[in-house]
């Protein structure tokens, strides 16, 4: 489980929340009420217990991608989640509806790549909003300026972004050409969790494919519209 971020701190938290017969799991996929977990016993499909559901104070209490949980194995690759461990970081958003209620989108992210395309998507104000979101989450931000090959004034643009992101690493790269991505490799260490945040069309999927070395995610040219 070390590849998924298991460490001494997480182990201590697990001991405080787990009951007899329960094992640790990390949520790697979430679909409605069903969580897919990475566990010491292999991948497991799990749902929260009735007691968990009854005692939850709101949507923010339920498991999301990145959460560590205490799960009771039930056989045939299934299990029951009894507890969600305290989160080190969390990306939240307002839930839909009349009442303003926090909804957690992802948890326990170490580093977030704030991806901006150096084409029509480029906006300093958007980068500032992404930075505020990252700082509020508790994750460490890294600004990634993708499509660097489109700008002849790249040095000036990087300096401009550094001016609104003091102390934050700023990386210029081209996911299509592959240049510059080596600067973000140190953040992709074993046991560390990285998320990508950015508008549609900035090249997040292309960047992930390039880092993985295979075409895992479908990509398409950005439309003129």
Average pLDDT over residues 6-28: 96
**In this predicted structure, what is the pLDDT of residue 210?**
87
pLDDT above 80: residue 95: no
pLDDT for residue 146:
94
Q: What tens digit of pLDDT does each residue of 123-175 get?
A: 999 999 999 999 999 999 999 999 999 999 999 999 999 999 999 999 999 98
The answer, yes or no, to whether residue 100 has pLDDT greater than 60, is: no
Integer Cα distance of 107 and 92 in angstroms: 9
pLDDT by residue (tens digit) across 197-214? Answer: 999 889 899 899 888 887
Band of the pLDDT at 116, cuts 50, 70, 90?
Answer: very high
CB neighbour burial string for 52-70, b if at least 16 within 10 angstroms, e if fewer: beeeeeeebebbbbbbbbb
**Considering only 72-81, 125-134, 215-224, which range has the smallest mean pLDDT?**
215-224
121: number of CA atoms within 13 Å, CB side?
21
d(CA 209, CA 176): 10
Whether the model pTM is above 0.85: yes
Grade residue 99 by pLDDT with cuts at 50, 70 and 90.
low
Beta-strand ranges (E) seen in the chain are 23-31, 34-39, 42-48, 68-75, 78-84, 90-94, 102-107, 111-117, 140-146, 170-172, 194-197
């Amino acid at each position: 489980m070390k590849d998924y971020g298991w460490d001494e701190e997480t182990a201590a938290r697990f001991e405080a929340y787990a009951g007899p017969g329960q094992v640790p799991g990390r949520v790697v996929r979430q679909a409605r009420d069903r969580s897919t977990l990475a566990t010491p016993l292999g991948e497991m499909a799990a749902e929260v217990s009735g007691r968990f559901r009854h005692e939850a104070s709101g949507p923010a209490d339920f498991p999301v991608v990145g959460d560590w949980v205490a799960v009771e194995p039930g056989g045939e690759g299934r299990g029951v989640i009894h507890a969600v461990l305290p989160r080190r970081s969390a990306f939240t958003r307002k839930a839909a509806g009349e009442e303003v209620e926090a909804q957690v989108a992802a948890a326990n992210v170490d580093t977030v790549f704030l991806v901006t395309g150096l084409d029509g998507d480029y906006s300093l104000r958007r980068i500032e909003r992404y930075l505020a979101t990252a700082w509020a989450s508790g994750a460490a931000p890294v600004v990634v300026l993708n499509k660097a090959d489109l700008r002849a004034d790249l040095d000036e643009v990087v300096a401009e972004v550094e001016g609104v992101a003091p102390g934050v690493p700023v990386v210029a790269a081209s996911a299509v050409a592959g240049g510059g991505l080596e600067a973000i490799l140190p953040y992709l260490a074993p046991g560390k969790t990285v998320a990508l945040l950015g508008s549609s069309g900035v090249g997040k999927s292309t960047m992930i494919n390039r880092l993985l070395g295979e075409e895992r995610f479908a990509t398409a040219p950005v439309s003129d519209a």
